[in-house]
Structure 1
Amino acid sequence: MADHNEFGKLAEDLAAEYLKKNGHTILTRNFYYQKHEIDIVSELDDLVVVTEVKARSYDTVIEPHEAVTRKKIRSIVVCADFYLQEMNIEKEVRFDIITILPDEHGVLQITHLEDAFQTYDAN
């Protein structure tokens, strides 16, 4: 497995553990629908949380969450809609982004952006 794939898996594992420690129940990871994917689907109280994980193993010019483009948001929303229908879930949904970046000492730092797609307009 390529190093970036291994780091991506590590980042998703860290994000899932972070969510669990913060009261989430993980429902599924890496859910696919056609060409779309959701990294993590969790439940927090009466809310379904769809989380996109973005990580970089190096310092970068753009923040990882800035890599979540309108096209990517649309893809996640389509996949989430299918997931909710497929699992027959009728709950409010929130879309979050978790970013994972090393600090100046190489220690991985987690940032949780709740309701990250709030300004998303599907049109």
Structure 2
Amino acid sequence: MSNAYDIGLKSEVFAKHFLEQKGYTLITERYRAASGEIDIIATKDDFLIFVEVRYRKKKRDAIESITLLKRQRLTTAAQHFIANNSELIKKHPFIRFDVVLLSKDSSIIHHIENAFGETL
């Protein structure tokens, strides 16, 4: 892995496969809106799930890297996606934000469901 961009892409691939193994259905990756990007959008059961993937050398650094501003940007991007995908919302009316953490100091993928404790 040569640079931060490559590491980010590889981390998203690991996270994607991890979520698929847990029964998630992937809708799209790297969704871009004016406010920012959502790494993975997926569904499971009645939930539409917006996933932020973070890789850092240490797990603690990965958690701390999701600032209030980052959360606000994710929320705004999610609102944009929802506004443009009303049919999907009818099938999956519940919304949550998950975080998948990968770190150099651990071979374990950490998945935090409903990480922000809020819904739209």
Q: TM-score, normalised by structure 2?
A: 0.87
Deviates more, 1:62-71 or 1:74-83: 62-71
Given that residues 35 and 76 in structure 2 are in contact (C-alpha distance below 8 angstroms), is that contact kept between their aligned partners in structure 1? no
Distance 2:19 2:67 in 1: 23
Instruction: Return the offset for 1:119.
Output: 5.7
Q: What is the percentage of aligned positions where both structures have the same residue?
A: 26
CA drift at 1:114? 0.8
Q: Please give the alpha-carbon distance, in whole angstroms, between the structure 1 residues aligned to 2:76 and 2:24.
A: 22
Q: Secondary structure at the match of 2:23?
A: coil
Q: 1:119 to 1:50 in 2, by over 3 A?
A: closer
Return the alpha-carbon distance in structure 1 between the equivalents of residues 64 and 98 of structure 2. Answer: 13
Which whole-Å CA distance do the structure 2 matches of 1:50 and 1:44 have between them?
A: 11
Tell me what 2:64 maps to.
66
Aligned-partner Cα distance in 2 for 1:10–1:108: 14
Instruction: Kindly state the Cα deviation for residue 85 of structure 1 after the two structures are TM-superposed.
Output: 1.2
Cα offset, 1:63, TM superposition: 2.7
Aligned residues: 116
Contact 1:102 1:109 in 2 (8 A): no
Unaligned ranges ≥5, structure 2: none
| 2:111 maps to amino acid | H
Q: Confirm or deny that 1:52 pairs with 2:52.
A: yes
Counterparts in 2 of 1:119 and 1:48: CA distance versus 1, 3 Å:
closer
- Distance in structure 2 (CA, Å) of the matches to 1:26 and 1:112: 16
| Root mean square deviation, CA, Å | 2.1
Deviations 1:60-107 (A, max 9, x none): 7x430211111110100000011011011322111011000123xxx6
Specify the code of the residue in structure 1 equivalent to 2:36.
Answer: H
Structure 2 match to 1:94:
96
Give the 4+ runs in structure 1 shifted more than 2 A: none
Q: In structure 1, how many angstroms separate the alpha carbons of the residues matched to 2:80 and 2:2?
A: 30
Q: Distance in 1 between matches of 2:111 and 2:22?
A: 11
**TM-score (ref. length: structure 1):** 0.85
